[in-house]
Amino acid sequence: MKTVANSTLPNTVLRPDYDRSTLQSRIVHLGFGAFHRAHQALFTNEMLSKSNTDWGICEINLFGGEDLIESLRAQDHLYTVAEKGAESTDVKVIGSVTESLHPSLDGIETVLEKMAEPQVAIVSMTITEKGYCADPATGKLDKNNPLVIADLANPSEPKSALGYIVQALKIRRERGLTPFTVMSCDNVQENGHVAKAAIIEFAQLLDPELRDWIETNVTFPCTMVDRIVPAATEETLTEIAELLGCEDPCGIACEPFRQWVIEDNFVAGRPDWNVAGAEFVEDVVPYEEMKLRMLNGSHSFLAYLGYLGGYHHISDTMTDAGYRKAAFDMMMKSQAPSLTMPEGTDLEGYATLLINRFTNPSLKHKTWQIAMDGSQKIPQRMGGSLRFHLDQGSNFSWLATAIAGWMRYVSGVDEQGNEIDVRDPMADTLRQICDQHGLNVSVVPALLAVEAIFPAELGQNPKVIDAVSSAYQSLIEHGAVATVAAL
Ligand code: NAI
Ligand code: CS2
């Protein structure tokens, strides 16, 4: 079969220009999803073509994605990224991946042994917000999470990312090997700190000595990651096949923009990702907050209200003047004031850039995709800025409307009475509450009382209850498009 590995590709396609045979799996990555393929693996590819090193990546999917791993193996671990601007597309074949594993294909022990190999210096992750098994409102380990319960009962056969990491570190410690750096690349506020807290607490419940060893020896840098990478569709793959002249089931399309800010805190060395445009800094937290609140916060706003308003993609919402203005105002009036940024940061310029990125008509980023896992996303995208406005006594109607939009969305019925496919790890709890109340404003305090999402100082605050209730009432009476226009 013709693949990206054995076909003669058009000259317009950029291919790896370094010797892949010298690469070693010094990075093990958990989560060979859409994002990582177009971000960390691409940065690594570019770093390899600019410097003479052997940093390769072993890809692991712990949940689903067996087919992707099989396809990747069938094409010598090469795959394509199509960077789609409004007018042109750049096509790159990525060569930084050296190996791949999946517990369902290769067994749990093989995965653990790979993570325990002496040359492994970094275990990185894009496992989605829920992969951290942490309480979304506090960022602390959720001891009632079924994966945590299962892994604590049977640590040598883990299921969760935390379980794999702790078991692999245990093996390394027993063998007298150096630890590895744990690098989260998920959209989680203070992602390194959340990963550390969850892993340390998990280890404490398992073996306090191992916990101490991890705390002393392992580092957990925070990272701010940014690139809009929608899930691949049939359409994306057909377009990539046309550009390549052969099929690539691992191909992925994304926007041209990319950004990666990394806390420089690696215990066993790191690649010079800066030669590929990443920034190493001492403190990532302000950049993370800026991105999570301004980009992701307004993304969630557009996802819930856009879906309800009948817009399938983020770029479709940008053709509606009301949504476009509301998204910009949400960034500048709700989110920007809540940030403390290094001097000289141009937040208005950032907001304008975001609106332009959202407008890119070549990217088919589904509002439904971004609406997914709202229980995990809302606290970190909106909780901090909500607190800020409550303290200041300032206007937070954009945040209240976004939260009301989420509440209307998780009812599971759209404005035309059609079913919404609500995907969320807390979907059962949310559904139960919504079923009790129907499309009635009484659902607002009931959902605000879910403390895993809204801690009491937010969810029980009368100002929050009032503002979200009035936005919800408007959604019921006038619909999403009119509610957004009236903002
Ligand atoms: P995806 O759905 O393509 O991939 C999800 C990956 O997470 C898969 O590899 C899956 O195996 C793994 N996974 C899912 N649940 C897990 C669990 N409970 N434990 C361990 N692994 C689990 O999603 P995509 O687009 O790759 O995004 C993943 C994450 O990357 C996002 O949740 C976000 O935090 C971050 N991100 C995504 C961006 C994007 O535009 N797609 C941009 C910036 C960050
Ligand atoms: C989106 C993000 O799916 C979502 O929730 O808001 O994945 C967004 O596309 C990225 O963070 C952009 O960097």
Neighbours of 81 (CB within 10 A): 26
Q: What is the pLDDT of residues 45-103, one digit of tens each?
A: 999 999 999 999 999 999 999 999 999 999 999 999 999 998 999 999 999 999 999 99
Per DSSP bridges, beta strands 181-184 and 24-30 are unpaired
60 Cα distance to chain centroid: 16
Q: Give the model's pLDDT for residue 137.
A: 80
* Residue of 305, 431, 412, 422 lying closest to 367 (CA atoms): 305
Mean pLDDT of the chain: 97
Same-domain pairing of 274 and 350: no
Per-residue tokens: 22 = 């010298």
Give the number of the atom of ligand 1 that is nearest the alpha carbon of residue 64.
11
Q: Is residue 180 part of a domain?
A: yes
Q: Give the model's pLDDT for residue 1.
A: 83
Per DSSP bridges, beta strands 252-254 and 279-281 are unpaired
Q: Is residue 116 part of a domain?
A: yes
Query: Looking at the predicted structure, is the pLDDT value of residue 424 above 90?
Result: yes
* Residue of 219, 335, 341, 247 lying closest to 287 (CA atoms): 341
Same-domain pairing of 263 and 398: no
> 370 CB under 6 A from ligand 1?
no
Ligand 1 probe mutation, 68, 127, 237, 381, most atoms within 8 A of CB: 127
Neighbours of 269 (CB within 10 A): 13
Ligand 1 centroid–CA 416 distance in Å is 31
> 128 CB under 6 A from ligand 1?
yes
Ligand 2 probe mutation, 43, 289, 299, most atoms within 8 A of CB: 299
Q: Is residue 117 part of a domain?
A: yes
Q: What is the pLDDT of residues 315-358, one digit of tens each?
A: 999 999 999 999 999 999 999 999 999 899 999 999 999 999 99
> 32 CB under 6 A from ligand 1?
yes
Q: Is residue 210 part of a domain?
A: yes
Q: What is the pLDDT of residues 411-421, one digit of tens each?
A: 999 999 999 99
Q: Give the model's pLDDT for residue 138.
A: 83
> 228 CB under 6 A from ligand 1?
yes
- Helix (H) or strand (E) segment spanning residue 182: strand 181-184
Neighbours of 452 (CB within 10 A): 16
The whole-model pTM stands at 0.96
* Residue of 272, 232, 277 lying closest to 80 (CA atoms): 232
Which of 281, 301, 332 terminates a domain? The answer is: 281
* Interhelix angle 462-485/397-409, nearest 10 degrees: 80
Neighbours of 31 (CB within 10 A): 23
Same-domain pairing of 390 and 244: no
Ligand 2 pocket at CB < 6 A: 187, 226-228, 295-296, 299, 369-370, 377
Ligand 1 centroid–CA 312 distance in Å is 21
Ligand 2 centroid–CA 94 distance in Å is 22
Ligand 1 centroid–CA 204 distance in Å is 27
Q: What CATH number has the domain bearing residue 363?
A: 1.10.1040.10
**Domain range spanning residue 366?**
285-486
Query: Looking at the predicted structure, is the pLDDT value of residue 6 above 90?
Result: yes
Same-domain pairing of 83 and 128: yes
Q: What CATH number has the domain bearing residue 66?
A: 3.40.50.720
Ligand 2 centroid–CA 370 distance in Å is 7
Q: Give the model's pLDDT for residue 81.
A: 98
Total domains, the chain: 2
With tokens 């937040």, the residue in question is 347
Ligand 2 centroid–CA 224 distance in Å is 12
Per-residue tokens: 168 = 């692999």
Cα separation, 439 vs 422, in Å, equals 16
Ligand 1 probe mutation, 39, 111, 128, most atoms within 8 A of CB: 128
The tally of CA atoms less than 13 A away on the side-chain side of residue 328 is: 15
* Residue of 284, 162, 153 lying closest to 224 (CA atoms): 284
Q: Give the model's pLDDT for residue 136.
A: 81
Phi, psi of 80 (to 5 degrees): -115, 140
Ligand 2 centroid–CA 226 distance in Å is 8
Per-residue pLDDT, averaged over 105-119, amounts to 98
Per-residue pLDDT, averaged over 29-53, amounts to 98
Cα separation, 275 vs 295, in Å, equals 25
Query: Looking at the predicted structure, is the pLDDT value of residue 139 above 90?
Result: no
The tally of CA atoms less than 13 A away on the side-chain side of residue 184 is: 28
Same-domain pairing of 247 and 227: yes
22 Cα distance to chain centroid: 31
Ligand 2 centroid–CA 297 distance in Å is 9
Q: What is the pLDDT of residues 271-321, one digit of tens each?
A: 999 999 999 999 999 999 999 999 999 999 999 999 999 999 999 999 999
The dihedral through the CA atoms of 20, 89, 71, 109 has a sign that is positive
Q: Atom 5 (ligand 2): residue with closest C-alpha?
A: 370
